[in-house]
Every structure is written in structure tokens, then in C-alpha cells.
Chain A
Amino acid sequence: MQKRKVLIVDNSPVILKLISSLVEKENCDVVTAGDGLAALDVLKEYRPDIIITDMVMPKISGEKLCQIIRNTPEWKDIFLIVISGIALEDENSILRLDADVCIAKSSAVTMRQSIRTALEQYDRGERKSKAIHGMGNLYSREITRELLSIKHHYDIVFESMDEGVVELDNQGRIIMANRAALRFLMQRDESLLSDDFREHLSLQCRIKISDWLDNMDLDDLQPLVFDYDSPIMLFGRQITLSLTPVRENDSFFIVGIMQDVSARKEAEERQRRLEQQLHQVEKLDAMSVMAGGIAHDFNNLLAILHGYLELAKLEAGPDGRSGDSLDKAYNALEKTMQLVTKFNSLSDGYQPSKTALSIDQLLDEMLEYELKDSDIAFDVTSCSDLWEVDADDQQLGLVLGNVIQNARDAMDNSGMLRVALDNVEGEKERRRVKHPIPDGKFIRIAVSDSGPGIATEVLERIFDPYFSTKQKGSQKGMGLGMTIVYSIVRKHGGYVWIDSSRNSGSTVYLYLPAKLEKGERPEREFAGKSRLSWFVS
């Protein structure tokens, strides 16, 4: 008869020796392992017919070992004999193990008899007997029952924690992991246990942990922490990880605790983005208050200047000697007044006078006008039943003009300008683009250029007053263009944002409120303080 191949696993050298000598006499080849982890290492090289394992062991326990064996296809048919020192007190869990034979630890004589019987069962092909051998002379110990009950409670707590907990040996191999840890690592017990923990992490983490393990000083054990500011990434989640070495005799093991901080990070990111947008609005609101105040004083001063110049001209008469000088002063003043009017359109007091209008015609006019001297081609696409907008046509012309001019300048007078017109619902759009679009119906005007794109640092400041990348001066650009666009669109109850990155062109998204049907109620506030109410909610 061919020799049976047996793997014996027990952390007690005495019992290991006892069982080995017994089994060897029964025509078997024997390999031994000192704990569950060592057993898994043996199994990688050696496929036994029978495994005889202890239950309570350090590193990977007998219980886990059985679970791994039964759940690994190439091992699941191995004849499994478990030997338990707590068979009497923990009968039910032992029977749940799905072992082929269960033996209670007792006197050497009884155990010898039980093992012999078990080997006979193997030979007969008798599997999964639901009885425990060798219980005859045993007495139940109350203290063991109590300890087991406490352990059972700890196990439940351990498994229900939100934090992932892993235990690693001094080589960094996983010998225990709770349910949360398995979830974070997207693994099952049987595939994870005995793995090197580092294999499941990014290269950068691996290097850090290896360095840390290499420099471990048993007399000065230091933890390794990947904290909130430098979390590890696991399958798209951001997870903090602390690895704490714990001394045990002349060695150490490691307790790793993992916490999922993705939700908090996301909330923070959302908050940061909102604050940034709010800051933008505050800045522009401050600007419009200031513009209002300045415009008032300015208008007064201009009225005086203008009045006296005119009066001087009247007093000088049609052929007065200073007529020409006065005319020149007068012309410069006219330009100043136009600038003030522009500035004034930023102020809070300047409200648009809205009428229903269809955007496509105005858009075509502005495109024709702004691009007439350039080699830029344009293409307008529109959804079939585009809503009308409720807007001030002059101000809207100013908005479109500014956006088209910017696109034209970005493209250096050649290329393709695309404009897409669509109807959108504010709420849906807000969720899609993650920008605070107000509730309600909007017409979305997307103006895309084929220019070089906008650098992030420029994009952040693009709506700022007097921010310009163009050469400064009254002809080239004053840095008020996008500020005016922003201000006017906001005054209409709309929204504007820009999507761009270097080398990929830019798209300006303008949202203008659709004209409401009769009987339809506005879902947003147009003016006044409550204008921002949706913003903070």
C-alpha cells in the first residue's frame, strides 16, 4: 500500500513529536509545521493526503487554517483531522469547522487510539463524521467556557469594527484580518492570510514599509503611520494606516489599523471648492459695492467737469480761441464717461431690463461682428426646441461679445470656434458638472475655442477685476471683460464657469434662465441678498 502523506500542525513541540512518531508507525510520510502560517508555507510545496492540526495556535489558528483549506480548490479534498484542547467546552464551533474527524486532546493513550481510528476512516473513505473522538474521560472546565465566551464577544466586536485591523508577523506577512480590512483590500480570508501585506499596497508604500521593517530596533519599537495628510490609496479609497510593532519575547508582531477617510476627504474637498466659489462671489460682490460707490462719486465729478467744459465752450462762443483745446478735453471726457458706464454695469444697482428673446439670432450677429476680420470659422449647433431666454439684449450682447473676443484672441485669429446651445435643468446640471448652478430651467451656451487652453493659475483668477493676460491699455484689454460677463450673467440669475486645461482649448459655459411659461413660478431669486441662498444650502 502506498504511504499516506500527512502534514501535522501544532505549536507544541511535545505534541508534535508524539503525534509524528505515532503516525509514522502507521505507514505514513510525515511533514510538520509549528503554526498555521508555517503550514500554509509547507502547502505551497507539498500536497498531503491528510492534515492533522491543532486548534489554538499563534499566528494563523487551526480554525482559520481549516477555513482556508476548505476554500482553496486545490486543497479542499484533503482529509482534515482537527485536535482540540477545548473540544468539550467548544463542541459546536469544532463541529462547524467542516473537518473530517475531530479529536479531543486527552491522554496520550486515548489520542493514539483516536488517531488510529481516524486513519482507518481515511482509508475507508469515510468523511465528515459529526462526532468528536476521545471525549470519554474528559470533564468540562468552567474557566475555559468563560474564556471562550469572552473570546467570542471580542471576535464579534473585532469583526464589526469599521476600522480595518490586520495582524502581521515580523516579516510583514498577514496572519489575521478582520472583515473591514478584507473589504479595504478587496480580498477573502483564504487568499489574504499568509500574504505579504506589502504586496497589496502601492510601490511607494511598499518601499516605506520595507525600510521601516529593515530598521526595526527591538529595544526601541517605533510605529509607522500613513496619516490623514498622507493616506494610502486602496481601490480608489483614501485610507489612513498605522502599523504598530508589539514586542513578544525575542521578536515582535505588528498591529495594523486602517481607517477609510475618503468620505471626509471628499466632504472637505467639496467644502473647499464651495468656499473658493463663495470667495469668488464675495470678491465680486465687494467689487460691485465698491464700483457702485465709486461710480456715484465719479459721476458727480464727471458731471462737474463735463458741465464746466461745456459752459466754457458756450462762453467762448463758436469761434472762441480755445475752442479746439476744449474740444480735445471734451472728447477725452466722453471716453472717460463710457468707461464709467462700463464700470457701472458691475454695480449692484444696475439691474438688467429683461425681455424674452431667442438667443441664436443675437449669437449669430455677435459672431459675425466679432470674427469678421479674422480667419476663424465658427459652427453653431442648437437643440431643436431651444427655450427663449429672459434677458437684457444689450447686456447679453456685451456678454457674448466679451466671450467671443477672448476666444478669438486665444486662437490667434485662426481655428474653429464652436458654440453649442442646449436646454438644461439646473439641478441635474449642478450634479453633473459639480458647479453651483441654481435650480430652474436654463439655456446653456457652450463656447469652445481651439486655442492653447488656460493655465490653472490663470483660470482661478479669470473673473477677477483688472486681471488680464493681455497687454494692458485701454485698447488691448483692461481685465474687466470676464468680470463683466460674470456680473451680468449673475444678475440675470445665471451662472458661468470655464473648463480648460493647457493644450486642450477652453470652453466657457454660460447658463441663462429660460423664459418662464405663463403660470410657471420662478424657482430662484434674481436680485438682492437672497441671490446666494442656494449657494450655501
Chain B
Amino acid sequence: MRPQVADAVFIEKEAMRILVIDDDDQIRELLRRTLDWAGYTVIEAVNGKVAMRLQRQEPADLVITDLIMPEQEGLETISSLKREFPEVKIIAVSGGGRIGPETYLPTAKELGADRIFTKPFSVREIVETVEELLRHAKAQGADCR
């Protein structure tokens, strides 16, 4: 049951591109379905390398990235994204484990991630955060014009 929104808002949301980067298929699918449900256009990448290629082809407005992945890891991706696309909003997500989230998330924030989440996260909070960040981006964009 999709939330009742005005068509205009819906179209506007659909026009918003979100790039989800995670090497875990299931996490990626969860985020895609959640954001689909919320009405956004979702593009997926399995690692930072693929993500950067996709971003250069057609930039997304917001990126949700895992921090520890093979090929190109999250921190590096965040810093490349911010360098090439200063306006893109970034949400960093990290799981616990051998190297705890405490170690990486603050660095991610320093590198330019707008929000940080630890696994397991609340998808509702992710959706709320995405909406908030994009609203903010739109407002900024309007100012620039």
C-alpha cells in the first residue's frame, strides 16, 4: 500500500535517483525495495568501482554506501564522490564485526558522509533520512538558481 501522495510529488520523487552500493545482494535488494516503495528511482552497484562508473554516466542525487566491501571500499568511494560530485548527499552504513563501526563511521563523516547508520538499521529511519536530505538538497538547489 503506497502512501497517498499527490501525483506531482510522486513524479518529483521518481525523478530523484538514489545509488545504493553494497556487496551484499540481500541488503542491496532490501534498500532498493524500500526506496522503490517510497517512490524513488534506485540504481544499484556492488562495489565502489562500479558505483563511480554509474555515477559518472548519470549522477544520482543521493548515495547510500556500505563501508567495507571488496574492490573499492566505502571510505575511498565517499572521498571520490565528494571530490567529483560535491553536491551529492551520502549516507554511510556499516556493520559491526572485526573492525567495529566505531572505527570507521566517524572517519566516514569526516570525509563528507551526511548521515551514518550502523547495521542493523531501521528502514523507516533510512527513508526519513533520505527524504530529509533530498528536501534539503532541493532547497539548496533552489537557492543556487
A residues in contact (CB < 8 Å) with B: 289, 292-293, 295-297, 299-300, 302-308, 310-311, 314-317, 320, 337, 340, 344, 347-351, 353
Contact = CB atoms under 8 A, between A and B. Distances in A.
A340 B96 contact: yes
Interface of B: 1, 24, 26-27, 30-31, 33-34, 37, 95-100, 102-103, 118-124
Which of A337, A340, A349 has the most chain B CB atoms closer than 10 A to its own CB? Answer: A349
Contact of A311 (B95, B96, B103, B123): B123
Contact of A306 (B99, B100, B122): B122
B100 A349 contact: yes
Given A289-B98, A340-B96, A349-B99, A311 B33 contact: yes
Contacts of A296: 95-98
A307 B37 CA distance: 13
A85 B37 CA distance: 121
State the majority secondary structure of interface residues on A: helix
Given A303-B27, A311-B33, A315-B1, A349 B98 contact: yes
B97 A295 contact: yes
A314 B98 contact: no
Nearest to A310: B123
A165 to B, nearest CB: 62
Contacts of A311: 30, 33-34, 37, 123
Contacts of B103: 349, 351
A347 B15 CA distance: 43
Given A300-B27, A304-B30, A310 B97 contact: no
Contact of A307 (B1, B30, B118): B30
B143 to A, nearest CB: 32
B120 A293 contact: no
Contacts of A310: 122-124
Contact of B96 (A306, A317, A347): A347
13 contacts: A296-B97, A300-B26, A300-B95, A306-B120, A307-B30, A307-B31, A307-B123, A310-B122, A311-B30, A315-B37, A317-B1, A348-B98, A350-B96
A307 B102 CA distance: 22
A292 B68 CA distance: 14
A300 B24 contact: yes
Which of A307, A317, A340, A349 has the most chain B CB atoms closer than 10 A to its own CB? Answer: A307
Given A295-B96, A347-B97, A302 B37 contact: no
Nearest to A304: B26
Contacts of B96: 295-296, 299, 340, 344, 347, 349-350
B100 to A, nearest CB: 4
Given A314-B124, A315-B37, A303 B119 contact: yes
B139 to A, nearest CB: 26
Contact of A303 (B33, B37, B121): B121
Given A303-B27, A307-B30, A293 B97 contact: yes
Contacts of A315: 1, 37
Contacts of A340: 96
A316 B1 CA distance: 7
Nearest to A297: B97
B124 A304 contact: no
A350 B100 contact: yes
Given A315-B37, A337-B120, A347 B95 contact: no
Contacts of B124: 310, 314
A407 to B, nearest CB: 31
Contacts of B118: 299
Contact of B119 (A300, A314, A320, A353): A300
A298 to B, nearest CB: 8
Contacts of B95: 296, 299-300, 303
B123 A314 contact: yes
A155 B119 CA distance: 82
B96 to A, nearest CB: 5
